[in-house]
Amino acid sequence: MNMLKRITELAVVLLLLAVVAGCSDEKEDSLARVKKAGEISFAMSGGYPPFNFYDAENRLTGFDVDVAEEVARRMGVALRPVTTEWSGIIEGLRAGTYDGILGSMAVTESRQRVVNFSIPYYYSGAQVMVRTGDDGATGPVTDVAQLEGKTIGVVTGTTFEEDAKGLKAGEVRLYKDDTQTLMELGNGVVDAVITDRVVGVNAMNAGRFKVTMLGGPLRSENIAVAINKADDTLLAEVNTVLKAMHDDGTLAGLSRKWLGVDITTR
């Protein structure tokens, strides 16, 4: 009788384990996860003015931050911004460290293989920046053809590294953020920098760096929110919110606030 009881108990335990295992295999509803937590976490570098950067009072601010706050508000949750090194930002997303990347990330084929992207929330392009002299005149580099064999600075993990190689740079130096690339350019450590066109314009207008644009954009880019492959419901909600922000002019208004122009339409 005791043996029969033990067999019965063992069968019940095995059945319960099978049920638990079956439940664990079910796909998690990512939107429900965010709603339950009451917050959504978006990652960005924190060193990419005017999109996301720390101001004089050490507050994270910028266009991306305002967009992220509005997305969170419309979803009915709080925003938890996360700043991290750009070079490892996608791996952090895939590891579940945050819910998405809203930090001026360009959509590329290689990135699409590992993460999904929302609809674009703005459009930009790759821009070559060179230093100017003390009188404001363009420095020694006056044409992109002159960059062959030269040293070009870019931020680690960006698409701009391939642009630099396409210009036949002699050396491509990698930096943490564009504050560093532009400082190195102004100091003559590198011959040119490739960055986002709007970042370049902002750097010129700020007067902090002795730099100027060299020619027009090398190419255009769609900038979107990156979401994990499995997080379908979260991606759908982010798309719904971004479309509404496009339609009602919110994104255009935030763009004009930070950049003086509307970069949210082609």
Residue 167: which residues within 8 A CB-CB, separation 6 or more?
Answer: 128, 144, 147, 148, 152
User: Is 24 part of any domain?
Assistant: no
- Contact of 225 with 67, CB cutoff 8 Å: no
Residue 90: which residues within 8 A CB-CB, separation 6 or more?
Answer: 101, 111, 114, 115, 157, 226
Q: Are residues 214 and 229 in the same domain?
A: no
pTM to 2 decimals? 0.74
For the chain, what is the domain count? Answer: 2
User: Is 185 part of any domain?
Assistant: yes
User: Is 265 part of any domain?
Assistant: no
Per-residue pLDDT reduced to its tens digit, 179-227: 999 999 999 999 999 999 888 988 888 888 889 999 888 999 999 999 9
Q: Are residues 232 and 102 in the same domain?
A: yes
Q: Are residues 77 and 142 in the same domain?
A: no
Q: Tokens standing for 257?
A: 């606030």
- Check whether the bond before 217 is cis (ω within 30° of 0): no
Reference 80, options 37, 117, 51, 121; nearest CA is 37
Q: What is the DSSP letter of 132?
A: B
Q: Are residues 36 and 152 in the same domain?
A: no
Q: Are residues 164 and 114 in the same domain?
A: no
- Average confidence score pLDDT of the chain: 89
60-61: strand order across its sheet: 47-48, 52-54, 60-61
User: Is 47 part of any domain?
Assistant: yes
Strand 171-175 with 151-155, pairing: parallel
Angle among Cα 41, 71, 160 to the nearest 5 degrees reads: 70
Q: Are residues 250 and 212 in the same domain?
A: no
- Contact of 68 with 81, CB cutoff 8 Å: yes
> Cα separation of 174 and 154, whole Å?
5
Q: Are residues 167 and 101 in the same domain?
A: no
CATH number of the domain to which 173 belongs: 3.40.190.10
- In this prediction, residue 141 carries a pLDDT of 85
User: Is 108 part of any domain?
Assistant: yes
- In this prediction, residue 134 carries a pLDDT of 57
Q: Tokens standing for 113?
A: 């293989």
- In this prediction, residue 191 carries a pLDDT of 95
Longest dimension (CA), the chain: 99
User: Is 115 part of any domain?
Assistant: yes
The residue type of 230 is A
User: Is 139 part of any domain?
Assistant: yes
Residue 131: which residues within 8 A CB-CB, separation 6 or more?
Answer: 139, 185, 186, 188, 210, 211, 212
Residues, the chain: 266
Torsion of CA 158, 163, 168, 172, to 10 degrees: -20
Q: Are residues 48 and 172 in the same domain?
A: no
Residues of the chain with pLDDT under 50: 1, 10, 12-13, 18-26, 135
> Cα separation of 88 and 78, whole Å?
24
- In this prediction, residue 233 carries a pLDDT of 98
Q: Are residues 172 and 190 in the same domain?
A: yes
User: Is 204 part of any domain?
Assistant: yes
Q: Are residues 209 and 129 in the same domain?
A: yes
Q: Are residues 171 and 193 in the same domain?
A: yes
Q: What's the domain range around 142?
A: 124-219
- In this prediction, residue 24 carries a pLDDT of 41
Q: Tokens standing for 137?
A: 């005149």
Q: Are residues 134 and 184 in the same domain?
A: yes
- In this prediction, residue 89 carries a pLDDT of 97
